[in-house]
């Protein structure tokens, strides 16, 4: 850490940059500036562009909220994409194929997702598996579950009538409700669900004792343990919450696709991690916050949206995204 | 090599001199014991000898030729090898590869000549009388064997001078005896062995000559036969107790904490007891000091009593008149116990969290009824803690890691006192803090005992132990060997007991 005195104005800038939130915001503003410059003939200035960006990023953002808690405990959850796939299939199966009431289906699916998270958490907290290994195993296992309960097929409302013809049942109202837009078509319901998840994660992290435990465990597990923090339970809660949000995301995904795809969510874990990291939450644990993740989600969302409205090809888009992730993370480290 | 001479060696860290004008010489075929208290400068001196520290005053001469090592490899080339515990070994690699690590025997056409390495390794191990599989990864051997491999490595490098820094601290009696035989053999072969130990019986078993460092100076170098144990101990601790300790008036009250027949499992997972059959009483208002060497079980005793070890302790404990089973830190805290560990950065503070959040970390339930944080109350308490303990901060939202060592230590104290403890287990409470902060800590300890709290104290600084303790229990190899009253405890009597000698010489 440098202690050398510098010009007052410079120190103010430096101090501002030392705040993770401001640095994350700076990265977001930078991306927005790119959007202003490459606005695709004004498309960037239309609300529908922003609405669609928010809608598109919501599922990833929901996953990133749970991921944030896990990463702050100095862990990682690689299983979020697979658990999303599993819960999306389960949701489609129970409501589209079996026609259960949403009042039963939603709690059941949320419970299933939470159970997956708790299983990962148990492996980490009780059996002391490295989070990477434990959740890698869960990632593979949950994908298998998704394929098993779906028979490897996409689960839609189609069914085969006795005469062999395919017919479609009416899609339940819940699917249409989640996939709709409110306020004159200006806000997608999934975006509102994302906002609720952000709020829930924020409450846990900033307002509940558990959140403080999460910060302490990630910052120094031994000091936390000796201070009476229930380390195992804290990790269990973080992974369990991540699993719960996977199920929320799985429901949203299934509703948007009007089906349960056993392949849904593949590689989503990587986007979720990228969102958390670009926001500035430290992968070593102990530092970070949900506000950062919200900013990170917008940064990634806008980045992809700007590239797509400018009709940048997928190959270039992926390469640019990779570069920007590196740039953002290096930028976060400037203070050291 | 005939003689190695270090002349007028001086070394400072951050302005504080650690070595002052030290001169000593090493002869072939001798075991030269380097003795002194913790912090006397022994480790610094041998790190200069082994090429670890390259910035120092004074000269090193080998056979009257001045040399200056730029790295440990440099020192090794000139025949000086330091044997650390495990540090230069790769546990996942096998015995041969470890011995030749960094100096592989070259094969024609590049690469290493594994056949030749194997033959040399077998040869050296035979000389050491060590019969181990050459292809097993080193991690599968006990610490004692690894230490032998370190010695083998030094021999493979053709070392003339072998430095062993407390090599027996991790060995049992049999392994120690084996090591001594090897040292005898090396001496007979004309090697020089620099041996650091705190244990008197080892010193006199091995030493040809002894050099004593105290406060960074060479107090005496003499043949072992000319320096009997009592003179050695006096030479080691000979400094007077400073006047910087506040006067301690003890008025012990009712019994607060009773420990009987306590066995504490070894935290490293070895099937052994780190503490055996310990028993003592702590009264309200009393400071009970614990003395003993590294590895005597003091810290394990504290951790065991606090419920901080993964496996449970065995024995009977009565706290405040009620039976107490050390189960978990949380349970111990709620019963009024506090454990200040001996490493604030590793186990005391969450350095990335703010000062305020560290203050309340151990008393969080009080600030979060039904799980909801009351940040207003929390910040008030944190501000009060910062004020009471005179912690110098810019803001209570400052990260704990940005504080100085003394302020960090006071922050740990603030954290524990916020839990309202009755019994404080203090493991090295003044480690790495300056005199001013030490003084404040002593005054606080006196204040707490006058309020009726009881304190168990571990400190490796003898003057501190003698000045602050009302009674001193001396531990040796996991057992409480003896109990000394404040009146009868002297530096000599404590050191003698810690070295395993009971009674008066």
For residue A230, which residues of chain B lie inside 8 Å, CB to CB?
A: 330
Tell me what pLDDT residue B244 has: 64
Q: What is the CA radius of gyration of chain A?
A: 21
pLDDT at B62 over 80: yes
Instruction: Say yes or no: A223 contacts chain B, CB-CB below 8 A.
Output: yes
| Residue B493: predicted pLDDT | 87
- Yes or no, beta carbons of A223 and B308 under 8 Å apart: no
| Spatial separation of the C-alpha atoms in residues B1 and A229, rounded to whole Å | 58
For residue B505, what pLDDT is reported?
41
Q: Which residues, 6 or more positions from A58, have their beta carbon under 8 angstroms from its beta carbon?
A: A188, A190, A191, A193, A194, A252
Q: What is the pLDDT of residues A146-174, one digit of tens each?
A: 999 998 889 887 777 777 777 777 788 88
Nearest CA to A250 out of A158, A70, A113 is that of A113
Minimal Cβ distance to A215: which of B306, B353, B362: B353
Ordered alpha helix ranges (H), B29-70: 42-49
Residues 6+ apart with CB under 8 A from A45: A39
**What's the whole-number mean pLDDT along residues B124-134?**
82
Indicate which of B350, B400, B402, B415 best probes the interface with A, i.e. most A CBs within 10 Å of its own CB. B350
- B245: number of Cβ within 10 Å: 17
Write the pLDDT tens digit of every residue in B380-418: 999 999 999 988 888 999 999 888 778 899 999 999 999
The CATH number of the structural domain formed by A21-155+168-333 is 1.10.3470
HSE at residue B456, side-chain half, CA atoms within 13 A, is 29
Interfacial A residues in 240-299 facing B (CB < 8 Å): 286-287
Is this complex's ipTM strictly greater than 0.90? no
The full set of domain ranges for chain A reads 21-155+168-333
CA dist., res. A233 & res. A150, Å (int):
33
Residue of B nearest to A286 (CA): B352
Q: Cβ distance A135 to A82 under 8 Å?
A: no
Q: Which carries the bigger pLDDT value, residue B437 or residue A142?
A: A142
The CA distance from B48 to the nearest CA of chain A, in Å, is 28
Contacts of B329 in chain A (CB under 8 A): 225-228
Average pLDDT over residues A226-245: 97
pLDDT at A11 over 60: no
Q: In Å, how far is B144's CA from the nearest CA of chain A?
A: 28
Q: Please tell me whether the overall predicted TM-score, pTM, comes out greater than 0.80 for this model.
A: no
Average pLDDT in the B310-320 region?
Answer: 92
Mark out chain B residues that contact chain A at CB-CB < 8 A. 306, 308, 328-330, 332-334, 339, 341, 346-353, 357, 361-362, 364-365, 368, 371-373, 402, 415
Residue A12 has a pLDDT of: 56
Write the pLDDT tens digit of every residue in A78-95: 999 999 999 999 999 999
- CA neighbor of B248 nearest in space, from B39, B434, B465, B505: B465
B347·A220 Cβ contact <8 A? yes
Shortest CA distance from B376: residue in chain A: A207
Written as six digits, the tokens of B395 are: 């803001």
Q: Is beta strand B322-323 parallel, antiparallel or unpaired with respect to B337-340?
A: unpaired
Q: Name the nearest CA neighbour of B32 among B218, B156, B171, B215.
A: B218
**Rounded CA gap, B346 and B358, in Å?**
14
Of all residues in chain B, the one with the smallest CA distance to A282 is B352
Planar angle of CA B198, B199, B204, nearest 5 degrees? 115
Cβ-based neighbours of B479, under 8 Å, separated by 6 or more:
B275, B276, B277, B278, B297
Q: What's the rounded Cα separation, in Å, for the pair B327 and B308?
A: 8
| Each residue's pLDDT tens digit, B444-492 | 999 999 999 999 999 877 888 999 999 999 998 899 989 999 888 888 8
CB B297 within 8 Å of CB B311: no
How does the average pLDDT of chain B come out, rounded?
Answer: 87
Per-residue pLDDT at B374 exceeds 90: yes
Q: How far apart are CA B287 and CA B425, in angstroms?
A: 10
In terms of phi and psi (left: phi > 0; alpha: psi -120 to 50; beta: otherwise), the region of B146 is alpha
pLDDT on residue B372 = 95
Best interface-test mutation with A: which of B353, B372, B377 has the largest number of A CBs within 10 A?
Answer: B353
Q: Judge whether residue A244 has pLDDT over 70.
A: yes
Tens-digit pLDDT profile for residues B264-280: 998 877 788 999 999 99
What is the arithmetic mean of pLDDT over A190-196?
A: 95
Residue A246 reports pLDDT greater than 80: yes
Tokens of A20: 């993770």
**Mean pLDDT throughout B132-155?**
82
The pLDDT of B288-296, averaged and rounded, is: 86
Structure tokens at A119: 């299983």
Query: pLDDT tens digits for B47-61?
Result: 999 998 998 999 999
Residue B241's pLDDT band, with cuts at 50, 70 and 90, is: very low
Q: What is the dihedral of CA A31, A34, A39, A40, to 10 degrees?
A: -100
């Amino acid at each position: 850490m440098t202690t050398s005195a510098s010009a007052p104005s410079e120190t103010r800038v430096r101090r501002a940059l030392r705040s993770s939130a401001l640095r994350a915001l700076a990265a977001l503003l930078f991306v927005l500036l790119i959007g202003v410059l490459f606005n695709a003939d004004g498309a960037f200035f239309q609300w529908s562009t922003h609405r669609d960006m928010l809608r598109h990023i919501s599922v990833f953002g929901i996953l990133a909220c749970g991921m944030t808690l896990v990463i702050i405990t100095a862990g990682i959850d690689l299983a979020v994409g697979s658990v999303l796939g599993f819960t999306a299939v389960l949701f489609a199966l129970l409501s589209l194929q079996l026609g259960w009431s949403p009042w039963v289906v939603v709690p059941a699916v949320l419970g299933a997702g939470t159970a997956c998270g708790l299983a990962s958490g148990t492996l980490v907290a009780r059996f002391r598996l490295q989070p990477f290994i434990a959740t890698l195993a869960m990632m593979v296992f949950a994908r298998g579950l998704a394929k098993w309960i779906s028979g490897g097929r996409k689960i839609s409302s189609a069914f085969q009538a006795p005469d062999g013809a395919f017919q479609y049942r009416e899609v339940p109202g819940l699917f249409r409700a989640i996939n709709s837009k409110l306020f004159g078509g200006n806000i997608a319901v999934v975006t509102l669900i994302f906002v609720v998840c952000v709020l829930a994660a924020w409450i846990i992290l900033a307002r509940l004792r558990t959140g403080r435990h999460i910060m302490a465990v990630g910052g120094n597990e031994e000091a936390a343990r000796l201070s009476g923090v229930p380390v195992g339970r804290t990790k269990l809660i973080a992974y369990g919450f991540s699993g719960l949000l996977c199920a929320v995301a799985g429901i949203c995904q299934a509703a948007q696709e009007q089906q349960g795809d056993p392949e849904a969510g593949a590689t989503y874990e990587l986007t979720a991690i990228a969102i958390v990291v670009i926001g500035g939450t430290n992968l070593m644990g102990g530092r970070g916050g949900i506000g950062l993740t919200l900013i990170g989600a917008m940064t990634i969302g806008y980045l992809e949206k700007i590239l797509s409205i400018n009709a940048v090809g997928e190959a270039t888009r992926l390469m640019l995204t990779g570069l920007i992730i590196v740039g953002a993370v290096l930028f976060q480290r400037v203070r050291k | 090599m005939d003689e190695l001479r270090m002349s007028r060696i001086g070394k400072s860290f951050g302005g504080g001199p650690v070595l002052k004008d030290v001169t000593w010489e090493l002869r072939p075929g001798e075991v030269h014991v380097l003795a002194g208290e913790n912090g006397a400068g022994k480790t610094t001196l041998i790190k200069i000898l082994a090429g670890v520290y390259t910035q120092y005053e004074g000269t090193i001469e080998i056979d009257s030729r001045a040399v200056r090592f730029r790295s440990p490899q440099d020192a090794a080339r000139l025949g000086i090898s330091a044997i650390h515990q495990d540090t230069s070994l790769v546990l996942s690699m096998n015995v041969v590869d470890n011995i030749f690590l960094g100096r592989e025997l070259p094969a024609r056409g590049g690469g290493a000549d594994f056949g030749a390495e194997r033959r040399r390794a077998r040869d050296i191990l035979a000389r050491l009388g060590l019969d181990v599989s050459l292809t097993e990864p080193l991690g599968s051997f006990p610490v004692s064997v690894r230490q032998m491999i370190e010695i083998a490595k030094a021999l493979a490098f053709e070392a003339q001078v072998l430095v062993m820094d407390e090599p027996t601290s991790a060995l049992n009696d049999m392994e120690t005896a084996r090591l001594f035989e090897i040292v005898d053999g090396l001496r007979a072969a004309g090697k020089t062995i620099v041996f650091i130990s705190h244990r008197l019986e080892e010193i006199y078993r091995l030493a040809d000559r002894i050099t004593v460092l105290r406060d960074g100076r060479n107090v005496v170098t003499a043949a072992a036969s000319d320096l009997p144990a009592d003179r050695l101990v006096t030479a080691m601790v000979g400094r007077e107790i400073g006047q910087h300790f506040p006067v301690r008036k003890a008025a012990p009250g009712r019994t607060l904490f009773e420990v009987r027949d306590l066995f504490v499992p070894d935290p490293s997972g070895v099937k052994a007891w780190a503490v055996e059959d310990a028993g003592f009483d702590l009264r309200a208002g009393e400071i009970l000091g614990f003395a003993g060497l590294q590895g005597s079980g003091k810290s394990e005793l504290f951790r065991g009593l606090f419920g901080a070890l993964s496996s449970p302790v065995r024995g009977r404990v009565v706290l405040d008149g009620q039976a107490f089973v050390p189960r978990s830190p949380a349970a111990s805290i709620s019963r009024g116990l506090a454990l200040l560990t001996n490493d604030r950065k590793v186990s005391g503070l969450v350095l990335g969290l703010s000062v305020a959040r560290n203050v309340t970390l151990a008393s969080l339930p009080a600030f979060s009824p039904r799980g909801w944080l009351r940040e207003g109350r929390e910040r008030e308490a944190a501000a009060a803690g910062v004020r009471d303990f005179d912690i110098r901060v810019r803001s209570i939202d400052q990260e704990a890691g940005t504080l100085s060592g003394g302020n960090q230590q006071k922050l740990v104290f603030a954290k524990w006192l916020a839990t309202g403890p009755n019994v404080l287990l203090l493991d090295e409470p003044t480690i790495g803090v300056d005199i001013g902060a030490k003084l404040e800590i002593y005054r606080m300890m006196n204040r707490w005992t006058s309020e009726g709290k009881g304190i168990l104290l571990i400190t490796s600084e003898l003057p501190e132990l003698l000045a602050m303790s009302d009674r001193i229990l001396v531990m040796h190899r996991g057992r409480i060997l003896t109990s000394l009253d404040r009146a009868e405890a002297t530096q000599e009597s404590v050191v003698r007991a810690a070295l395993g000698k009971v009674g008066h010489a």
